[in-house]
Chain A
Amino acid sequence: MSDQSRNRILERMREGLQATPHPGSDFSVLAEKQWPPEARVKMLRQRLESVNGQVHLCSREGWVAELQNLLSGKAVSNLLYAPGTEHGSELERSWPGDDAGLPSLLSTMEEDVDFRERVFDVDASLTGTIGGIAETGTLILWPTPREPRLMSLAPPVHVALLDAVNIHNTFWEAINQRQWADGMPTNALLISGPSKTADIEQHLSYGVHGPKELIVLIRE
């Protein structure tokens, strides 16, 4: 049935479209959006904060200490992370034992543990990002087998690491510079703040389905 439908639909369209010209597109309005690197960091931060994201600047080495600082005051008893990634290894190396009052680390790769069960159960997660977008205050994530898709969605607190050098001016620039069209991952994500809704009389509520808190550590 589907095959015949397909051919009939396509036939109708081809007949109806005979010799319709294809207009070209001028992307200069996007290409012109260029800011210096420091301005990009500032814009991204400002935009994310305006939608209730929490942004902290730190040094290339200092991010684990910053994270410990941030989490020690929170009711977060565990943190899901991806061992085997660069940031996962750095985290393991400098995370103190259980009696330090910090959340315990839970791995995404533990044998005999169903990831799906785990990710719906943890208090917080840490993921990397492949970059950011200044114009819109956005994180770009390409989830991997070690850092799966639900990690940035199911836990109530999501911590994301972003390297300042990877902040693009626009989404359009990121797609073109990094040649996304040559090979897309299973899932590519843009995240611009914690989950939210305004469906109840325009009142903004956070964490309706995804994280209530999005914490971004920008490594400069």
Chain B
Amino acid sequence: MTKADFRAGAARAVGDVQLRSNFRRAMDGLMEKRAAQFADGEELERLRTLGESIRSRSLARLPELLVQLENNCRENGIQVHWAETAEDGNRIVLDILKRRNAKTLVKGKSMVSEEMELNHFLEAQGIETLESDLGEYIIQLAQEMPSHIVMPVIHRNTAQIAELMERKIAGVSYTENPDELCRIARKVLREKFYKADAGISGVNFAVAETGTLCLVENEGNGRMSTTAPKTHIAVMGIEKVVEHLQDVPPLLSLLTRSATGQPITTYFNMISSPRRPGEQDGPQEVHLVLLDNGRSRILADPELRPTLRCIRCGACMNHCPVYTRVGGHAYQAVIPGPIGEILTPQLRGLDVRGDMPFGSTLCNACVEVCPVRIPIVDILLRLRAEANSPEQGGSVKGAGAKREGKEAMAWKGWQAMHASGAVYNGLSRLLAKTGNMMPGSVGPLKAWTATRTKPRFAARTLHQMTRKRGIPDE
């Protein structure tokens, strides 16, 4: 596999007319719906302040809250596991499945399991995993990555989905009727829910105070996956915990209104224990896998910590002038768009994805809509600086990976030139005479002029012109 590179991905995506129109339509719709939900600007700002305070408090107390969550879950009968890396997490899930002799799995939508590449891992072990969220089911058929964190198959239009389902599901004939396509999926998945040995889900919020796992969804597949099979395994990033039950309603409100412009989703599912005596359904075992995978490192840096406030609403991508034009796949990462640009390099390292923080215009649209006020632009700038910092100069994994000797030298020269009046004057006069002879398409200027027009140097420097007009030189 070649190294993931946003610039190349974006260039490809910009040329895909169908893709661009699919995204444009969808994003315009989502922006409108969000705006309609927050017609009362004052309410929005007060809610954002509240949401930000809740998430900041959760992070400030994260170790205590995780221990409290663990204790309360255990008391309720939920088994808790800790995973330092994605590989650890995958192993833990596999061990649970093996112990239960589980061969078939249904999955609710979970970004953390995408981060772990859990499906891939389990399939290599001979365990069939089936995505049950309609969008995830479709991209699983297409063997694609999600292109949006809330609407994973937003990059495809109905005809493209119809063609895929006809090709991939036995006995299905081509139809562009979306209700009919849903009915087909319902039929296939119903059967699976009924028979699956285990269900896997993510977690939107975990409540430390009560040991409760909360899931947000519209379809009911999350409820199915967590209720019908005998074993339920929930995987979550360690940052998802909140302190109190009363912290949940404001975050839920911010999440659904920012994400899809709904006052609330169809289902909000709060799970606090496995099946209790006398109960006739629900899993007999519930497991919670807590995944670090680089998060504790982000937590340690006060400037980077706000990254972990994210509630995965997707508003930052819906409003991003870059994302809305290139779509999610251009980022070649599980989480695309502005939040992906700051989260992915921190989790995977600037040596692996140091390209991502540069895929932004720094226009601040993401910061304006983020319901928990993550300073995405400040973090982007910090990551850009770290990517170019001298070796070992930063706290982010892979810092300095993008540093180039030539560029560093150019800036050193720039610094020297501006530090001395005499050198500055001499050089700027020289450039006024010879600058236009420098070729833009070769040599050191090539990379810079690839996406920019080379400026023309004026025949006289500003200093020369002002002196000529008689403005005294201070």
Q: Interface of A with B (CB < 8 Å)?
A: 1-3, 5-6, 8-10, 12-17, 20-30, 47, 51, 108, 115-116, 119-120, 135-138, 145, 148-150, 153, 170-172, 175-176, 180-181, 184-203, 205, 207-211
Within 8 A of A (CB), among B127-143: 132-135, 138
When chains A and B are docked, how far (Å) is the Cα of A198 from the Cα of B133?
11
With A208-B219, A210-B219 known to touch, is A150 a contact of B228 (CB < 8 Å)?
A: yes
* A185 proximity list for chain B (CB < 8 A): 272
Pair B280/A145 contact, Cβ less than 8 Å: yes
Pair A148/B282 contact, Cβ less than 8 Å: yes
Q: 10 tightest A-B contacts by CB?
A: A16-B300, A210-B220, A199-B135, A190-B268, A209-B220, A29-B46, A6-B82, A136-B264, A172-B249, A12-B296
Instruction: For residue A205, give the distance in angstroms from its CB to the closest CB of chain B.
Output: 4
* A135 proximity list for chain B (CB < 8 A): 263
Q: Is B260 an interface residue (CB 8 A)?
A: yes
With A181-B210, A209-B189 known to touch, is A186 a contact of B179 (CB < 8 Å)?
A: no
When chains A and B are docked, how far (Å) is the Cα of A16 from the Cα of B297?
8
With A16-B299, A186-B279, A190-B264 known to touch, is A202 a contact of B29 (CB < 8 Å)?
A: yes
Instruction: For residue B221, give the distance in angstroms from its CB to the closest CB of chain A.
Output: 5
Q: Interface of B with A (CB < 8 Å)?
A: 22, 25-26, 29, 43, 46-47, 49-50, 53-54, 56-57, 60-63, 66-67, 76, 81-84, 88, 92, 132-135, 138, 151-153, 156-158, 161, 178-179, 181-182, 185-186, 189-190, 193-194, 209-212, 218-221, 223-224, 227-228, 238, 244-250, 252-253, 260, 262-276, 278-282, 290, 292, 296-297, 299-302
Instruction: For residue B177, give the distance in angstroms from its CB to the closest CB of chain A.
Output: 9
Pair B82/A149 contact, Cβ less than 8 Å: no
Pair B138/A25 contact, Cβ less than 8 Å: no
With A209-B189, A210-B219 known to touch, is A200 a contact of B134 (CB < 8 Å)?
A: yes
Q: Looking across the interface, which residue of chain B has its beta carbon closest to that of A209?
A: B220
Pair B53/A189 contact, Cβ less than 8 Å: no
Pair A9/B260 contact, Cβ less than 8 Å: no
Q: Looking across the interface, which residue of chain A has its beta carbon closest to that of B265?
A: A192
Instruction: For residue B251, give the distance in angstroms from its CB to the closest CB of chain A.
Output: 11
Name 18 interchain pairs, CB-CB below 8 A, sorted by A: A5-B83, A12-B292, A17-B300, A28-B46, A138-B268, A145-B278, A170-B249, A176-B246, A184-B212, A186-B282, A190-B264, A195-B267, A198-B151, A199-B133, A199-B138, A199-B153, A208-B185, A210-B266
Instruction: For residue B140, give the distance in angstroms from its CB to the closest CB of chain A.
Output: 13
Q: Which of B152, B186, B194 has the most CB of A within 10 A?
A: B186
Instruction: For residue A202, give the distance in angstroms from its CB to the closest CB of chain B.
Output: 6
Pair B273/A186 contact, Cβ less than 8 Å: yes
Instruction: For residue A177, give the distance in angstroms from its CB to the closest CB of chain B.
Output: 11
* B46 proximity list for chain A (CB < 8 A): 26, 28-29
Pair A171/B252 contact, Cβ less than 8 Å: yes
Q: Looking across the interface, which residue of chain B has its beta carbon closest to that of A194?
A: B266
Pair A199/B263 contact, Cβ less than 8 Å: no
Pair A191/B266 contact, Cβ less than 8 Å: yes
* A10 proximity list for chain B (CB < 8 A): 63, 66-67
